[in-house]
Structure 1
């Protein structure tokens, strides 16, 4: 019976992984296609204003998705009081945040010396309320690992919102095309989630539930806010110390790396917390599962980031147009983070699955301070220096995060570092093969990329992590078959 239960759990995880990959691949593919189209219509300055407004609203919205709603995932058996209390608490927070952003719009415009920022930020404040309306539904969906719904809502939102944004940009709406795109996407997600998750909040509010949920969510909410600030502080610092065009160029480089990150890391980020929570009582198994998942993410992320940095001089003008050429050296500097980013990106999910969000909050606070200091110090030397600072911050975070994990889990994470070093060696071999391929092919983009991919896969499979690639192919095939079996 235990074998059947284990097999059923594995099958459920594989199905969830299949739909998560479809969600990430479809939605982020559409998002990136939308981004490519819009950058050919809009200017770096218009994107810079939007990026600053998005950074501010994203930090506000972190309260809604990494607080009371996520506490429902961690809770063993949430009841109706828990769900409704979380919903109404988030609605109150979302409304308060929206009002605060509307009132602070003129102040942010003065700080950044750009009058267009105020109305853009005030309009995007509506996202706080729209996302509060789906925060609990999203948490319930993740708790039950119903990732097919995530795929439907994301793809639908990007298709409808993206087409609307393109039409408005072509009609000359400028930055407002981007604002409308965000709001329409949020409305589509709201409609899909409420239509598919058969739960409606009741007019109930429990102080007991609020206290219990807050016991988990308060430190996690603080950690989420600090992490969001660390993620967005680069755009905010660049906007103050340089200008909105510099923000636009930096944001394009970051957007390209984030597109790779969504493919390599987002599926595991969504599944990491519920999967690791099952091993919370067996710390050795917890460590082994974490090492396995992070190694898989790094194995996918590293060659994509290496290849992107190497091919940036040809890819950026081809995809986005010559007006974005200043983003090329920034992207190449940031691509140095290819060796380190996944090694610290999942620490929050791991600590939360062990009910240790307080430790995550301390890490997030340290990351925020380190990032702010690094970007402020680099900005006077130009936008490329900020790109190098981004890669340096990523490298400095690795030993700190692994040390905290070792202290909390009580297990050594040296196996993860060993795997990372082997993958790094394969990445260096890939870069060498791309240099040779570029010289032998006369600069052919596709042949250069092919030479690098083949070298990377061969080095892993034969020498550095024997049979790792073939084992990954078998696992992907199982995930596909399990996902295809859903009715």
Structure 2
């Protein structure tokens, strides 16, 4: 049941995010969207610290006491309030960076949502440790839905960028309130604080939060840099592309993770079987994800116009680039869980540090002078991350780089063929009066082309993949030959 509620939470939040994206795109301008996105990137970086400082430490602690929980709670509350006050005090500097009137008030208001995370982070970790995922899922879905309702109402009313601020703050408030309402009575904090408990939690928590912070900083620093160098309008386009691609990734990739991750954990003691399972996972992820994201890239202009309106048409460049990054992302989707299952998360941290260092150096030394430069910098980050991650996997599992990507070749060829055919079909039917009919034709052509090419090139492999999925469902293990 824990797995069910976890899947429901991820899927439900992704659907709500897509719905919100469509609504806001109709009522907000790219500049308004970009202004809040840049401010929120600052807030989210700090919220990683307040939300995750003790999260993993509490979950992994063998026998945490109420003194551990209360110490963590009061520390995160203090930290979140300090961050909130610091942001308010420095909000004018943010406006100087952005050169957008009113941005100081935006980032100052968003900081109140950050302050609320300090009141909920510890109880969230405690619910996870107690496997009360139903309460967490309901909290997330209800608070997101209520925040979305208020934000959309404000957007319709004409609040502009402030509608996103209203959504964020109300969502944070509802999330905190609902979390404490659903929490068992035994979670009620006492007036106690332990410095020894704080030191104990920080020994693990500081390392864990550093790894998470570096991982989250890559995209946030990129968005903030785009806001500074290219302005709010360009950042709005980039963030819209990110949101669309990330939402689609969350909906499609989460189900694959739910199928494969338990398998990797169960067989981590058997290197040969683990390598075989990893290669099957690569085949599964690429077979499913390549047609989805290549299809998104091919239909980006039509889809953008239908979902968001013609004012967002300039975002299609970034949708195209971010979608094609699936070529690098899908084959390494299980790299992090595999290294974690082997007890080597530090290798993932190393890859993230290298990628973050590249991002920082390239932005500081060269800046971001155009849309194309921004897209190129992000492509470079994905390439570096892929290369170094492949190197770490080779050292740990003895899988050569070629073996790691071998099972991606057939889906890649099928996906590229599909993209080319859909692209030329789109150019030949662009005079149609109905964009919905045009989209339907493009999707039909894409699905038929991908399946036909895949079956022609490697029908046996496709059959085996479905066979292994049935095996996973029935037995929870992988049979032989999974690396074919």
**TM-score clears 0.5:** yes
Does residue 259 of the first structure (1) align with residue 279 of the second (2)?
Answer: no
Q: Which residue of 2 aligns with 1:183?
A: 169
Counterpart mapping for 1:212-231 below 5 A: 212-231=200-219
The correspondence for 1:394, drawn from 337, 357, 382, is 382
SS at match of 1:361: helix
Q: Does the Cα contact within 8 Å between 1:237 and 1:376 map onto a contact in 2? A: no
TM-superposed CA distance for 1:381, in Å, is 4.8
Counterpart mapping for 1:341-360 below 5 A: 341-344=329-332, 347-352=335-340, 356-360=344-348
The correspondence for 1:101, drawn from 82, 87, 100, is 87
Structure 2 CA distance, aligned partners of 1:289 and 1:144?
30
TM-superposed CA distance for 1:413, in Å, is 7.2
Q: Does the Cα contact within 8 Å between 1:303 and 1:456 map onto a contact in 2? A: yes
Structure 2 CA distance, aligned partners of 1:193 and 1:294?
37
Q: Which residue of 2 aligns with 1:319?
A: 307
TM-superposed CA distance for 1:385, in Å, is 3.5
Q: Does the Cα contact within 8 Å between 2:5 and 2:133 map onto a contact in 1? A: yes
Change (3 A) 1:455 1:71: farther
TM-superposed CA distance for 1:283, in Å, is 5.1
**Which deviates further from its counterpart, 301-310 or 257-266?**
257-266
Q: Which residue of 2 aligns with 1:483?
A: none
Q: Which residue of 2 aligns with 1:449?
A: 443
TM-superposed CA distance for 1:29, in Å, is 0.9
Q: Which residue of 1 aligns with 2:481?
A: none
TM-superposed CA distance for 1:230, in Å, is 0.7
Q: Which residue of 2 aligns with 1:49?
A: 35
Structure 2 CA distance, aligned partners of 1:290 and 1:75?
29
Q: Which residue of 2 aligns with 1:428?
A: 416
Structure 1 CA distance, aligned partners of 2:202 and 2:137?
30
Q: Which residue of 1 aligns with 2:134?
A: 148
1:165-221 Cα deviation digits (max 9, x unpaired): 111112121111100101111122223322333233343333343333323222221
1:419-467 Cα deviation digits (max 9, x unpaired): 2333323322432453476578777321321232244345278244433
| TM-score, structure 2 as length reference | 0.84
Q: Does the Cα contact within 8 Å between 1:347 and 1:405 map onto a contact in 2? A: yes
Structure 2 CA distance, aligned partners of 1:268 and 1:135?
28
- Structure 1 residues not aligned, in runs of 5+: 1-14, 480-487
Q: Which residue of 2 aligns with 1:6?
A: none
- Structure 2 residues not aligned, in runs of 5+: 433-437, 477-484
1:252-280 Cα deviation digits (max 9, x unpaired): 11111111121134567799988866666
Does residue 466 of the first structure (1) align with residue 460 of the second (2)?
Answer: no
Change (3 A) 1:473 1:247: farther
Q: Which residue of 1 aligns with 2:189?
A: 201
Change (3 A) 1:177 1:192: same
